[in-house]
């Protein structure tokens, strides 16, 4: 413990309990999950309850009009993952979308009807409860419905993010759903979302069919088509979430588990493997040499991931974790120079989302991530439902040679990566970091902080971070050690101080020998709560 404090003085303590834990980016949502645990639900029930509550209390980052992914370990040792990301509509051919966008070199718009893919969240919640939960929709959605209809005070960071809604929401029904007195709410102001609350009540009563086969789905399709999108009712009714096997690799004596494509989870595993193959010395943790090798490994993994990772049903990825490939990539890292391997420019660089972790006394452990992509998403709200629709389709490419090119029924490349790890001390870790292209970079730093930095769970999230950007620059937090910064600059890194908001939002829970430990991101409004 003293070594941890000597290395970095954490801002707060790790939360400890034995019965259950919820960690997420908004305190009221964390309490919603804890309420379900205390009522007899398990970690899966609590995950859905927390995700639904975040729809209400943090609507700037998530919603039932978006997608959901999960990585989990059950009490009986089953390790699994959920992909409930929706595809493009069957009418969304590359040629039709290119023609509709227009121009000599058309690019996907950021907002509007063309960017809306099938929202997978509600079916994903349903799958979670039916396969691993113990309670029904009516019980787990109750806290979210209560917050929506009775109201809640808006927390500070979320109030700041909500300001974008004034410009984004252009239709009267969108403004009525998410603004108060035709303006975004202030921090501490009581906010109700009655329309969204009514839609959540419909899901509680009718199940996810209310969205995929019922009146809510009709409103979604009508809104999308009115705004030039290509979704049909059949696209919603045909959607099914998918259980997938996590992909994994070792780092030191730990095993890290990520989601396979269409997510960017492979980037995390490749970067850690490259760094270890390049001679990343655990004894050099906290030095410029250590950070330089980790940063360069991350750049190489991003270069590969952004060119190959997409919906594997259309383009299966190459063997990015193959030993020969990892060795070749590691050989490119030099101690006294920087690589020019850059990310592909994308709106996904600054996408936002929510992540939550839950655990119970039986040993269930869940990482759950729910998102609309860019903040409030497409800017569209489905009629009077209060359901803000995602813009995940904006990450499609309209280049016919690109792996992530638009195609009918295709899932776009996703930034969302809930993760798990089995650490060398026998503990299991549920964790993730929110924030577009910061997500894999955050995973890498949390894992290395825990394993090589020997940090406590909360200290691993608090520690100052770096971030590689698409333009080749390296962002760092102001709290970074000056001796490291100067040595990184001498190696050739183009450094710039960035505000904490640019470095993601992490949550983590670990379990070992009946003790549950939880931590939350100091850069968000969040809380880790246990009992």
- Whether residue 334 sits in one domain with residue 283: yes
- Whether residue 421 sits in one domain with residue 360: no
Q: How far apart, in whole angstroms, are the C-alpha atoms of residue 194 and residue 216? A: 15
Q: How far apart, in whole angstroms, are the C-alpha atoms of residue 353 and residue 372? A: 7
Write out the DSSP string of 392-415.
GGGG-B--TTSTTB--TT-PPPB-
Q: How far apart, in whole angstroms, are the C-alpha atoms of residue 441 and residue 8? A: 19
Residue 6: predicted pLDDT = 45
- Whether residue 234 sits in one domain with residue 125: yes
- Whether residue 230 sits in one domain with residue 90: yes
- Whether residue 69 sits in one domain with residue 35: yes
Domain annotation covers residue 33: yes
Q: How far apart, in whole angstroms, are the C-alpha atoms of residue 373 and residue 108? A: 14
Q: Report the alpha-carbon angle 448-454-460, nearest 5.
A: 60
Residue 279: predicted pLDDT = 97
- Whether residue 248 sits in one domain with residue 200: no
C-alpha separations of 430 from 22, 33, 367, 435, 513 in Å: 11, 16, 6, 17, 15
Residue 501: predicted pLDDT = 86
CATH for 478: 1.10.246.130
| pLDDT tens for each residue of the chain, 531 residues long | 334 334 546 668 999 999 999 999 999 999 999 999 999 999 999 999 999 999 999 999 999 999 999 999 999 999 999 999 999 999 999 999 999 999 989 999 999 999 999 999 999 999 999 999 999 999 999 999 999 999 999 999 999 999 999 999 999 999 999 999 999 999 999 999 999 999 999 999 999 999 999 999 999 999 999 999 999 999 999 999 999 999 999 999 999 999 999 999 999 999 999 999 999 999 999 999 999 999 999 999 999 998 899 999 999 999 999 999 999 999 999 998 999 865 555 555 565 678 999 999 999 999 999 999 988 999 999 999 999 999 999 999 999 999 999 999 999 999 999 999 999 999 999 999 988 899 999 999 999 999 999 999 999 999 999 999 988 899 999 999 888 999 999 999 999 999 888 899 999 999 999 999 999 999 999 999 999
Domain annotation covers residue 403: no
Strands (DSSP E) along 333-465, which ranges? 354-360, 365-371, 419-422, 428-434
- Whether residue 276 sits in one domain with residue 169: no
Domain annotation covers residue 8: no
Count of domains observed in the chain = 2
Domain annotation covers residue 4: no
Q: Each residue of 230-256: b (16+ CB within 10 Å) or e?
A: bbeeebbeebebeebebbbbebeebeb
Q: How far apart, in whole angstroms, are the C-alpha atoms of residue 270 and residue 287? A: 22
- Whether residue 120 sits in one domain with residue 63: yes
- Whether residue 255 sits in one domain with residue 236: no
Residue 2: predicted pLDDT = 39
Domain annotation covers residue 425: yes
- Whether residue 386 sits in one domain with residue 511: no
Strands (DSSP E) along 316-374, which ranges? 354-360, 365-371
Q: How far apart, in whole angstroms, are the C-alpha atoms of residue 73 and residue 158? A: 31
Domain annotation covers residue 408: no
C-alpha separations of 397 from 94, 405, 406, 483 in Å: 9, 4, 6, 41
Domain annotation covers residue 2: no
- Whether residue 44 sits in one domain with residue 185: yes
Q: How far apart, in whole angstroms, are the C-alpha atoms of residue 393 and residue 348? A: 11
Q: How far apart, in whole angstroms, are the C-alpha atoms of residue 123 and residue 239? A: 8
Residue 346: predicted pLDDT = 58
Secondary structure (3-state) at 118: coil
353 catalytically annotated: yes
Q: Domain of residue 143: give its range.
A: 22-240+353-370+381-395
- Whether residue 257 sits in one domain with residue 216: no
Domain annotation covers residue 407: no
Catalytic residue of the set 14, 62, 298, 353: 353
Residue 10: predicted pLDDT = 62
Out of 335, 361, 395, a domain closes at 395
Is pTM, for the whole model, over 0.75? yes
């Amino acid at each position: 413990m003293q070594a941890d404090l000597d290395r970095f003085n954490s801002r707060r303590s790790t939360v400890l309990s034995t019965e259950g834990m919820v960690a997420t980016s908004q305190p009221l949502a964390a309490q919603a999950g804890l309420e379900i645990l205390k009522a007899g639900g398990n970690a899966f029930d609590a995950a859905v309850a927390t995700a639904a509550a975040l729809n209400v209390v943090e609507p700037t980052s998530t919603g039932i009009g978006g997608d959901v992914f999960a990585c989990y370990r059950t009490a009986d040792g089953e390790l699994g993952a959920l992909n409930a990301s929706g595809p493009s509509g069957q009418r969304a051919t590359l040629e039709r979308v290119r023609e509709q966008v227009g121009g000599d070199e058309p690019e996907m718009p950021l907002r509007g009807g063309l960017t809306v893919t099938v929202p997978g969240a509600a079916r994903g919640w349903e799958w979670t409860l039916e396969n691993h939960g113990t309670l029904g929709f009516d019980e787990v959605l109750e806290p979210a419905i209560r917050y929506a209809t009775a109201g809640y005070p808006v927390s500070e960071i979320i109030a700041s993010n909500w300001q974008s809604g004034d410009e984004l929401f252009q239709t009267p029904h969108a403004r009525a759903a998410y603004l108060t007195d035709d303006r975004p709410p202030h921090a501490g102001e009581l906010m109700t979302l009655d329309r969204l609350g009514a839609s959540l009540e419909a899901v509680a009563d009718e199940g996810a069919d209310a969205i995929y086969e019922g009146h809510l789905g009709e409103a979604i399709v009508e809104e999308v088509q009115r705004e030039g999108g290509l979704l049909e009712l059949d696209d919603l009714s045909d959607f099914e979430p998918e259980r997938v096997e996590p992909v994994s690799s070792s780092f030191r004596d730990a095993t890290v588990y990520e989601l396979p494509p269409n997510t960017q989870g492979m980037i995390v595993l490749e970067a850690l493997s490259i760094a270890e193959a390049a001679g990343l010395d655990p004894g050099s943790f906290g030095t410029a040499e250590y950070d330089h090798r980790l940063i360069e490994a991350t750049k190489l993994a991003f270069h590969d991931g952004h060119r190959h990772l997409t919906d594997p049903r259309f383009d299966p990825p190459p063997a990015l974790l193959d030993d020969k490939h990892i060795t070749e990539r590691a050989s490119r890292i030099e101690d006294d120079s920087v690589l020019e391997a850059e990310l592909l420019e994308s709106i996904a660089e600054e996408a936002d989302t929510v992540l939550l972790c839950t655990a119970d006394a039986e040993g269930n452990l869940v990482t759950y991530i729910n998102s609309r992509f860019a903040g409030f998403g497409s800017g569209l709200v489905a009629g009077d439902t209060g359901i803000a629709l995602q813009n995940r389709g904006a990450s499609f490419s309209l280049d016919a040679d690109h792996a992530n090119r638009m195609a009918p029924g295709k899932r776009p490349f996703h930034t969302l990566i809930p993760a798990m790890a089995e650490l060398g001390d026998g503990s299991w870790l549920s964790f993730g970091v929110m924030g577009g292209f910061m997500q894999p970079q955050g995973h890498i730093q949390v894992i290395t902080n825990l394993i090589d930095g020997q940090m406590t769970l909360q200290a691993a999230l608090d520690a100052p971070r770096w971030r590689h950007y698409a333009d080749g620059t390296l962002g760092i937090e102001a709290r970074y050690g000056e001796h490291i910064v100067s040595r990184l600059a001498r190696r050739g890194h183009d450094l710039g101080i960035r505000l904490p908001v640019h470095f993601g939002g992490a949550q983590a829970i670990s379990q070992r020998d009946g003790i549950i430990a939880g931590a939350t991101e100091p850069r968000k409004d969040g809380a880790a709560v246990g009992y």
